[in-house]
């Protein structure tokens, strides 16, 4: 008999250790001291000026690049003094930057800056730096900084190049519009929930239309759309989200958006913790685990909790392993929401059979071997072998069958299927923790699988697949099936 347990709130994961704390200095109109006139110093002068700083350069020798930069500064003025820096120059500066070839001058400058209470960076000399500069992706006011703590600058630049390709230039205009419209949104008469919905509508439109210039008519349309929702915008909702079989990279974009907008996430034991990393950090995460033949929250308790939270105005995500519509009890949860007049949305996920087949390189409907694909459950509501399985369909040589939750009943299922005509030599596989790094596979004839599965004691969740479409799996080279027990 399954042991009942209550929903429990998961303790938020602590922030992983940071080699550097990413911060963004507000330098508009502030004074920055730059000691050095080299080409490297000129690049830092350009960067500081672009951030709006008043840059004061002190050096006995000034490169042509620095003179050119001062003559055509991108933002704040760049003032050049052809002399060595002094301690008095550092007083009142927002930050100090040094460009020195030797450690002695670097140490002297860093000590003087710290004595004046000014954060200091000495170019290419991390031992004398209070902060560092990373690779930058500029879609200002959207700005992304990338740091490898000086360990691999080339790697940081490669990542920057990838982000540059991913982020449309038009995001700069949308980010600027967000800043411009923020006060107008507050004055629009929208409630707190309405304002949050406005920014969700804004973001969805910006992501879909990044190169379209934001217009005042867009603002009016977004506000009208939110107001058109009426009281619904202030009421809670439930979204059933498929987390996929485990690999977080198999999440859909829609699933990620749901996780990032959730107030509360109710998740199962079978959901990979890596998937939860995509959730909004502030969201409450509650384990409402249901494990086969282990401690489980009653479905009625989950339904009541889900509805109660939504009635409090919360955006609830019910996060399920695989696809919520495939053996995920979605029907009962949808019914509970409908009965309580709670808006419910469904975000499908990749079910375990698809994920496992993709990882193993199998076509479940290979036309040489299979004309039908069927999903069945290995146990009924009682926990026993279902008595209404279509055994003729299971024994059909041209069918690929995926059996969910099969561990406890597999021996009885196979015995019955063999008696109903299933060939004992039919290829089969048991896949544990499909698509995850610790995925394990047992591949053999179906007649041998129950004994081998019992002996292996694979960790859950386990999926069994049967059919001639798995034929190649039995004769695959060792390197392909490195995870096969």
- Are residue 466 and residue 380 in the same domain, yes or no? yes
Instruction: Please tell me the total number of residues recorded for the chain in this structure.
Output: 485
Same domain, 45 and 98: yes
Q: For residue 31, name the pLDDT band (cuts at 50, 70, 90).
A: very high
DSSP 270: T
Question: Taking 50 as the threshold, does the pLDDT of residue 485 lie above it?
Answer: no
Report pLDDT for 16: 78
Same-domain pairing of 342 and 357:
no
Q: What CATH number is attached to the domain comprising 360?
A: 3.30.950.10
Residue-wise pLDDT tens digits, 152-179: 888 989 999 999 988 999 999 999 999 9
Average confidence score pLDDT of the chain: 90
Lowest-pLDDT range, 2-6, 120-124, 478-482? 478-482
Q: Is the distance from CB of 162 to CB of 197 less than 8 angstroms? A: no
Q: Within this chain, do residues 281 and 222 fall inside the same structural domain, yes or no? A: no
- Active-site residue 268, yes or no? yes
CA angle 166, 281, 21 (to 5 degrees): 70
| Closest residue by Cα to residue 329 from 431, 240, 461 | 240
Q: Is 464 inside a domain boundary?
A: yes
Same domain, 209 and 108: no
Let me know whether 65 and 85 are in one domain: yes
- Residue ending a domain, among 190, 210, 229, is 229
Assess whether 290 carries a catalytic annotation. yes
What's the average model confidence in pLDDT over 460-477?
85
For residue 297, which of 331, 267, 330 has the smallest C-alpha distance? 267
The structure tokens listed for 323 are 């696809």
Q: Which residues pair with 441 in a beta bridge?
A: 431, 484
Is residue 242 in some structural domain?
A: yes
In a domain, 158, yes or no: yes
Domain annotation covers residue 389: yes
Q: Residue 6 domain-assigned? A: no
Residue of 89, 218, 268, 323 marked catalytic: 268
CB 27 within 8 A of CB 140: no
What pLDDT shows up at residue 477?
A: 47
Regarding whether 369 and 326 lie in a shared domain, the answer is no
Which of 9-13, 100-104, 208-212, 229-233 has the lowest average pLDDT?
9-13
How do residues 348-387 score in pLDDT, each as one tens digit? 999 999 999 999 999 999 888 999 999 999 888 777 888 8
Q: Per the residue annotation, which of 44, 290, 314, 320 is the catalytic one?
A: 290
For residues 329 and 280, membership in a common domain is answered with yes
Residue 478 has pLDDT above 50, yes or no: no
User: What's the CA gap between 370 and 475, in Å, rounded?
Assistant: 18
Answer with the one of 133, 164, 179 that is the final residue of a domain.
133
Domains of the chain: total: 4
Pair 313, 393 in one domain? no
End-to-end CA distance of the chain: 30
pLDDT-based confidence at residue 209 (cuts at 50, 70, 90): very high
Residue that is last in its domain, among 297, 321, 350:
350
Take residue 180 and report the two structure tokens written for it.
Answer: 């411009």
Shared domain check, 306 and 241: yes
The region, left, alpha or beta by phi > 0 then psi within -120 to 50, assigned to residue 429 is beta
- Which CATH number is 83's domain given? 3.40.50.720
252, 253, 257, 260: CA torsion to nearest 10: 70
The CATH number linked to 287 is 3.40.1010.10
17, part of any domain: no
Domain that holds residue 280: 235-350
**Rounded average pLDDT over 318-334:** 93
Residue 122 and residue 191 share a domain: no
Q: Can you give the pLDDT at residue 290?
A: 60
Same domain, 345 and 239: yes
Banded model confidence at residue 482, pLDDT cuts 50, 70, 90: very low
Nearest to residue 268, comparing CAs of 288, 247, 243? 288
pTM for the predicted model, two decimal places: 0.70
């Amino acid at each position: 008999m399954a042991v009942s347990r209550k929903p429990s709130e998961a303790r938020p994961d602590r922030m992983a250790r940071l080699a550097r704390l990413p911060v963004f200095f507000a330098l508009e109109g502030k004074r920055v001291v730059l000691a050095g006139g080299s080409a490297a110093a000129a690049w830092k002068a350009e960067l500081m000026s672009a951030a709006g700083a008043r840059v004061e350069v002190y050096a006995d020798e000034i490169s042509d690049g620095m003179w050119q930069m001062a003559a055509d500064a991108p933002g704040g003025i760049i003032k050049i003094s052809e002399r060595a820096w002094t301690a008095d120059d550092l007083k009142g500066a927002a930050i100090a930057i040094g460009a020195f070839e030797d450690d002695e001058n670097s140490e002297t400058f860093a000590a003087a800056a710290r004595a004046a209470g000014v954060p200091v960076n000495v170019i290419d000399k991390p031992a004398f730096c209070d902060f560092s500069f990373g690779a930058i992706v500029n879609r200002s006011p959207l700005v992304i900084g990338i740091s490898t703590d000086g360990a691999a600058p080339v790697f940081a630049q490669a990542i920057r190049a990838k982000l540059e390709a991913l982020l449309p230039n038009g995001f700069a205009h949308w980010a600027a519009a967000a800043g411009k419209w923020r006060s107008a949104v507050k004055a629009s008469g929208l409630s707190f929930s309405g304002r949050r919905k406005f920014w969700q509508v804004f973001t969805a439109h910006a992501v879909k239309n990044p190169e379209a210039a934001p217009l005042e008519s867009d603002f009016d349309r977004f506000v009208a759309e939110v107001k058109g929702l009426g009281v619904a915008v202030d009421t809670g909702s439930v979204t059933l989200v498929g987390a996929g079989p485990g690999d977080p990279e198999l999440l859909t974009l829609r699933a990620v958006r749901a996780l990032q907008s959730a107030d509360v996430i109710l998740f199962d034991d079978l959901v990979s913790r890596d998937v939860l990393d995509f959730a909004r950090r502030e969201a409450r995460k509650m384990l409402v685990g249901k494990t086969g033949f282990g401690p489980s929250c009653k479905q009625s308790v989950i339904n009541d909790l889900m509805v109660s939270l939504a009635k409090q105005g919360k955006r609830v995500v019910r996060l399920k392993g695989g696809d919520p519509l495939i053996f995920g009890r979605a029907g009962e949860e949808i019914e509970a929401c409908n009965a309580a007049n709670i808006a419910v949305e469904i975000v499908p996920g990749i079910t375990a059979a698809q994920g496992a087949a993709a990882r193993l390189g199998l076509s479940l409907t290979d036309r040489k071997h299979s004309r039908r694909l069927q999903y069945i459950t290995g146990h009924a509501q009682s926990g026993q072998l279902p008595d209404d399985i279509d055994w003729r369909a299971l024994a059909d040589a041209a069918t690929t069958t995926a059996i969910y939750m099969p561990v406890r009943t597999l021996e009885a299922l196979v015995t019955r299927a063999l008696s109903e005509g299933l060939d004992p030599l039919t290829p089969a596989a048991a896949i544990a923790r499909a698509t995850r790094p610790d995925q394990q596979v047992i591949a053999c004839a179906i007649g041998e699988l129950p004994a081998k599965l019992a002996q292996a004691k694979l960790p859950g969740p386990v999926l069994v697949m049967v059919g001639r479409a798995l034929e190649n799996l039995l004769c695959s080279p060792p390197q392909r099936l490195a995870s096969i027990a």
